[in-house]
Amino acid sequence: MYSDGMSLEDLQQKIMNKLTMAPPLGAKIKFDCGEEGVILLDGTGAAPMISTENVKDEAADTTMHCTADILRGIAEGSTDPTMAYMTGSLRIEGSLGYALKLAGILGD
């Protein structure tokens, strides 16, 4: 559970709800929230798939490192992903382009 009582599964569902309304992402993106868990988004198919089961070592085009609270804020629109990146609260490995595309989807 996170500071607001939201579980990793709740956060996963919130992200999935936003992705179903968006065009295909065309990439695999991993959200690494450290000890709080890892979420893998597979946006390479016609329909996005998202998982938290055994995904820590899965390959991804982009990996976003942040706390679950930062990720929740981005998904809810209360945290600006660009500002989180600029302040070091969000670190990105891999394609920055995919991270920006996802930020646009989550920010809607």
pLDDT tens-place string over residues 45-69: 888 899 988 888 899 999 999 998 9
Asked if the structure places residue 1 within a domain, the reply is no
Asked if the structure places residue 3 within a domain, the reply is no
For residue 88, give its domain range: 8-107
Q: What is the DSSP letter of 83?
A: H
Asked if the structure places residue 27 within a domain, the reply is yes
Contacts of 42 (CB under 8 A, 6+ apart): 28, 48, 49, 50, 51
- CATH for 64: 3.30.1050.10
Asked if the structure places residue 78 within a domain, the reply is yes
Q: What pLDDT is stored for residue 92 in this prediction?
A: 96
Asked if the structure places residue 2 within a domain, the reply is no
Q: What pLDDT is stored for residue 1 in this prediction?
A: 43
pLDDT of residue 5 exceeding 80: no
Question: How many H helices and E strands in the chain?
Answer: 4, 5
* pLDDT, mean over the chain: 87
For the residues 6-30, what does the mean pLDDT come to?
Answer: 85
Label residue 60 left, alpha or beta by phi (over 0 means left) and psi (-120 to 50 means alpha).
beta
Under 8 Å between Cβ of 15 and 39:
yes
pLDDT band at residue 2 using 50, 70 and 90 as cut-offs: very low
Quote the pTM value: 0.84
Number of separate domains in the chain? 1
Q: What pLDDT is stored for residue 54 in this prediction?
A: 87
